[in-house]
Structure 1
Amino acid sequence: MTEETTAVRRGRPPQTQEQAEEVRARIIEATAAVFARNGSRGLSVAQIIEQAGLARPTFYRYFGNAAEPLRALLDASNEDLVGGIGAALTGTDEPVQLGIRLIDAYVDWARGHGPMLRPLFAELHDPGSPVSAYRERALDDIRALVRKAFEGLGRPAPAPLDLDAALQVCEYVVYRLTAGSEPGSDPDPALATEARVTMIRVLLVTLGTRDDLAYAMELPGLFPDP
């Protein structure tokens, strides 16, 4: 038997649960490749099955249309981002370290998307794209995590506008940091350092206290000398 018929008999149900999971993962992987090339508006069942090397009946055993495997991709993306942010917010009450952890969590999330990162960022603010709806869900989850972290530290919850400003800047900084890198590669070290400093400043000003700022003013290189 060929590799194709070993993985799945074209047009026939897989013989085991493991095979079924492999086929589903194969369809989602093919969807990611098509999305990376064409964005959500260029996504079609025909292109997905061509990319995956599967028959159309096989696709429809797992998904009803091209939007469904894209939703599976976006669900996984949100879980990775929210999970990374949640981990970044635990284990420290030091605002500078928090800034480093947040930007690194965002960068790790971005790096994991490979070639599909650019169309993903391109559609974040497009109300006609399903990506924008997932972005709003992720932001809601991250807002809740930040408020919970502040509560655990005995601090007042940040003002909604301040929190949104911090998150929007973090998203933009990560975009700038990763846009010039090869998909899936590490960003330029000098630019990564600059991004961390920028994010720390933003978090201190939007979410920090006077004591946080006073502490940060004593750290070399964080703020320019007058």
Structure 2
Amino acid sequence: MTSRERILDGAARAFGRLGYARTRVEDVLNAADVSRPTFYKEFSSADDVFETLARLHFRELSKRLVDALESTGDPSGKLFAIVDAYFRWRSELGPLGRVLDVEARQPRSALARIRRPVTERLVEAFREQIVALGRPAPDPLLLGALISAAEHLGDTLPSDRAPTAREMTRRRIAMLRLAAGVLMPLEPERKRRRR
């Protein structure tokens, strides 16, 4: 394992245990068992290593969702695959993932800048898939709301143990129902005739 990998591994444990605001470089040094000069050869600060962990975290999410999109040609299968991949990823996050997720949703956080392009790519990927099915492109605001709903449902997964099959199924069903409602085109209102 390289020094950089040891630092990232130690930082993941330190941030997962202490949270973002309470983790200092000293905590990372102790968890990684590296010297201060070794740390500073690789990273400029605790924030720098935290942002690196966040980039890796969101890169993994993007990869899983793209793989899910490409896993089947069936439109409803794609939706199920994406929802399933997202909740599986969330259930595997562990303490660091939860800290990263919470911090990334803070509007003024440095991690929000990292999360935003991932969210924008997801919205665009969803729009492209829907248009490819011959349906009208949905409002990006609605797709963003779906992503927020998925994040909220992911937040309700247990953090102290692996979720049960029932807990995962409930979240998948809830998300699929929300998605079906958002993706179903609204019928134009019929004008009532005056008699």
Q: Which runs of 4+ in 1 moved over 4 A?
A: none
Cα-to-partner distance string for 1:124-176 (whole Å, 9 max, x where unaligned) = 33234333332222211211211222233333221122111211111111121
Tell me, yes or no, if the aligned pair for 2:75 and 2:133 is still in contact at 8 Å: no
Aligned residue identity for 1:202:
L
Q: CA 1:203–1:169 in 2, change beyond 3 Å: closer, same or farther?
A: same
Ranges in structure 1 where 5+ consecutive residues have no aligned partner: 1-18, 211-226
Return the match for 2:75 from 62, 83, 94: 94
- Judged with a 3 Å threshold, the aligned counterparts in structure 2 of structure 1 residues 141 and 54 are, in CA distance, closer, same or farther, namely same
**Counterparts of 2:135 and 2:69 in 1: how far apart (Å)?**
14
- Contact map agreement 1:121 1:175 (CA 8 A) in 2: no
Superposition TM-score, scaled by structure 1 size: 0.74
Distance change >3 Å, CA 144–CA 94, structure 1 → 2: closer
Partner AA of 1:182 in structure 2: D
Give 2:176's match in structure 1, choosing from 192, 196, 200: 200
Deviation (angstroms), 1:100: 2.3
Cα gap change, 1:208/1:98 in structure 2, threshold over 3 Å: closer, same or farther?
Answer: farther
Deviation at 1:64, TM superposition (A): 1.4
Distance 2:179 2:112 in 1: 24
Residues 66-215 of structure 1: pairs in structure 2 closer than 5 A: 66-90=46-70, 91-95=72-76, 97-176=77-156, 178=157, 180-182=158-160, 185=162, 187-209=163-185
SS in 2 for 1:42: coil
What residue in structure 2 maps to residue 45 of structure 1?
25
| Displacement after TM superposition at 1:181 (Å) | 4.2
Q: Kindly indicate whether the alpha-carbon contact (under 8 Å) linking 1:30 and 1:48 is maintained by their aligned counterparts in 2.
A: yes
- Between the two proteins, the alignment pairs up a number of residues equal to 185
SS state of the match for residue 134, structure 2? coil
Question: 1:32: which partner in 2?
Answer: 12
Deviates more, 1:195-204 or 1:149-158: 149-158
- In the TM superposition, what is the alpha-carbon distance from 1:118 to its structure 2 partner? 2.8
TM-score, normalised on structure 2?
0.84
How far did residue 93 of structure 1 move? Answer: 3.5
Distance between the aligned counterparts of 1:117 and 1:38, measured in 2?
13
